[in-house]
């Protein structure tokens, strides 16, 4: 009887919490609609825009949530109106600029307000300063295409479909550093609804935090002004390997990380494994290497990769940067929109075990993939070299919140895609096992984890040497913890 009463109390308490959350969300939506109008707020679950915003996520699990409404701001003033209404009602909320974060509630919300930036796509270029300005609603492919007409580009993601929240730097990173290193001025809506700007000379502490420290932690960026870079034609393409070339490609990856000194050369290698049984010639696994060189002739920069027998080679000169971002055979994850999750590692290539580290990581990954056949759609391990030229370029531009140590070293990203509808206990078990596989090779304690490809439990901000400073900035701009408690994102606990 006592157990029944306890369970009943818990159920009633949970239902009351959901009801209160729904009431707060409804109140915020009503207030926002009265200010912005019906055209900018979708409340009905049958509304076509609502359906698109709710379902268009890279991690399909985020689509199970039901926002009280979806708001489509057209300006920073509209965002401010929405934040003030959300704050007054006590509603939860989320910001969606592309929906690529796999982490729960980072860009999704249940019974709260979803702010979707898809209507904020303005972009401009100033030839006198070579500065580029854009709003957060475009993806990288749209931005690359726009700035290409001026013979320029902006630092961003490697794949065109990714939203602007990512701060990696794409295939030009070895020359120019991270995307956040190119920031010159940011328009920001603060947690109290105030609209301000952050730069090296105005709100410089806020500017520092936003350069690689995560957007939702400090405010909502509604306009980016960045240093553009000159762009010409590239030598670029995709190499696809199958059969028994895993070892040779791993050696080529290791050597490229260790020895490449050409900042114009960029490589990303991915091993993808399907859940299909390995019944013949390792056809359940494909190895894809993306090669990009900022110029017509890469010389010998990619020789270790091109001398390995391969199934497909699309590399060629005279490739535009837009074509680079749309290279064939993108990640299976980009196509699947399954229940996708990320985990990240950071590893030295020199020192004890360093030279063998790529092989060690792959072998552990491959053993896990083989053991768990049937419980995933596919899994992948991706190697991202961090060259000395990249860390030097970042530092020359003022550095960022990661304060990256000198290269060479590398990030390794793991992707797990599970089929929809797994029973909760099965899903939890495979996630725990996947996490254990990644943690079996601990990241180097002196290296920062890449924010945008980390699982929430990895607490990447705590790996930054600037963590204490970021905590202080957080307290300054969100003193009552409104963003910390009412939206998802990286925290400073």
Q: How far apart, in whole angstroms, are the C-alpha atoms of residue 78 and residue 75? A: 5
Q: How far apart, in whole angstroms, are the C-alpha atoms of residue 305 and residue 303? A: 5
**Model pLDDT, residue 169:** 63
CB 69 within 8 A of CB 41: yes
**Model pLDDT, residue 343:** 97
DSSP 215-273: HHHH-EEEEEEEE-EE---EEEEEEEE-TT-HHHHHHHHHHHHHH---TTEEEEEEEEE
**Model pLDDT, residue 351:** 82
Local structure of residue 68 (DSSP, 8 states): S
Q: How many CB atoms lie within 10 A of CB 341?
A: 21
CB neighbours of 483 closer than 8 A, spacing ≥ 6?
191, 216, 217, 218, 219, 489
CA atoms within a 13 Å half-sphere pointing along the CA-CB vector of 40:
21
Local structure of residue 379 (DSSP, 8 states): E
**Model pLDDT, residue 421:** 82
Task: Enter the pTM of the model.
Answer: 0.92
CB 416 within 8 A of CB 341: yes
Terminal CA-CA length for the chain: 39
pLDDT in tens, 158-176: 877 787 776 656 678 889 9
> Which regions of the chain are under pLDDT 70?
1-21, 166-170, 215, 243, 278-283, 328-337
Kindly state the helix (H) or strand (E) to which residue 145 belongs, with its residue range: helix 140-148
pLDDT in tens, 371-400: 999 899 999 999 999 999 999 999 999 889
**Model pLDDT, residue 9:** 42
The first and second tokens of residue 414, run together, are 């793991």
**Model pLDDT, residue 17:** 58
Of the candidates 273, 228, 220, the one whose C-alpha atom is nearest the C-alpha of residue 76 is 220
**Model pLDDT, residue 157:** 82
């Amino acid at each position: 009887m006592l157990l029944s009463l306890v369970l009943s109390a818990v159920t009633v308490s949970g239902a009351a919490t959901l009801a209160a959350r729904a009431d707060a969300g409804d109140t915020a939506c009503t207030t926002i609609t009265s200010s912005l109008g019906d055209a900018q707020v979708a409340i009905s679950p049958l509304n076509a825009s609502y359906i698109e915003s709710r379902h268009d996520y890279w991690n399909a699990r985020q689509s199970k949530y039901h926002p009280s409404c979806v708001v489509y701001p057209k300006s920073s003033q509209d965002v401010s109106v929405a934040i003030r209404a959300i704050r007054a009602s006590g509603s939860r909320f989320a910001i969606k600029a592309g929906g690529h974060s796999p982490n729960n509630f980072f860009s999704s919300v249940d019974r709260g307000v979803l702010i979707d930036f898809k209507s904020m796509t303005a972009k401009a270029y100033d030839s006198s300063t070579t500065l580029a300005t854009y709003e957060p609603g475009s993806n990288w492919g749209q931005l690359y295409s726009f700035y290409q007409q001026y013979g320029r580009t902006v630092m961003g993601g490697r794949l065109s479909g990714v939203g602007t929240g990512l701060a990696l730097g794409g295939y030009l990173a070895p020359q120019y550093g991270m995307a956040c290193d190119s920031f010159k001025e940011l328009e920001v809506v603060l947690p109290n609804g105030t609209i301000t700007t952050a730069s090296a000379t105005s709100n410089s502490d806020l500017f520092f935090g936003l350069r690689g420290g995560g957007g939702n932690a400090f405010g909502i960026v509604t306009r980016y002004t960045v240093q553009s870079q000159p762009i010409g034609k590239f030598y670029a393409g995709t190499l696809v390997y199958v059969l028994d070339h895993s070892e040779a490609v791993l050696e080529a990856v290791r050597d490229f990380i260790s020895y490449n000194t050409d900042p114009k050369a960029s490589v990303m290698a991915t091993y993808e494994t399907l859940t299909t049984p390995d019944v013949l010639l390792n056809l359940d696994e494909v190895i894809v290497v993306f090669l990009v060189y900022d110029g017509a002739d890469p010389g010998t920069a990619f020789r270790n990769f091109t001398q390995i027998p391969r199934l497909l080679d699309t590399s060629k000169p005279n490739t535009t940067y837009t074509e680079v971002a749309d290279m064939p055979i993108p990640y299976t994850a980009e196509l699947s929109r399954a229940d996708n999750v990320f985990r990240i590692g950071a590893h030295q290539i020199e020192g004890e075990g360093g030279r063998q580290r790529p092989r060690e990581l792959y072998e552990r990954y491959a053993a896990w993939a083989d053991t768990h056949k049937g419980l995933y759609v596919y899994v992948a391990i991706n190697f991202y070299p961090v060259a000395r030229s990249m860390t030097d370029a970042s530092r020359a531009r003022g550095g960022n919140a990661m304060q990256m140590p000198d290269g060479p070293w590398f990030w390794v990203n793991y992707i797990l895609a599970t089929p929809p509808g797994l029973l909760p206990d099965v899903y939890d078990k495979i996630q725990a096992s996947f996490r254990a596989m990644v943690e079996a090779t601990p990241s180097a304690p002196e290296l920062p984890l890449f924010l945008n490809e980390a699982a929430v439990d990895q607490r990447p901000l705590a790996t930054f040497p600037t963590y204490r400073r970021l905590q202080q900035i957080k307290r300054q701009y969100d003193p009552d913890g409104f963003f910390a408690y009412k939206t998802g994102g990286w925290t400073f606990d």
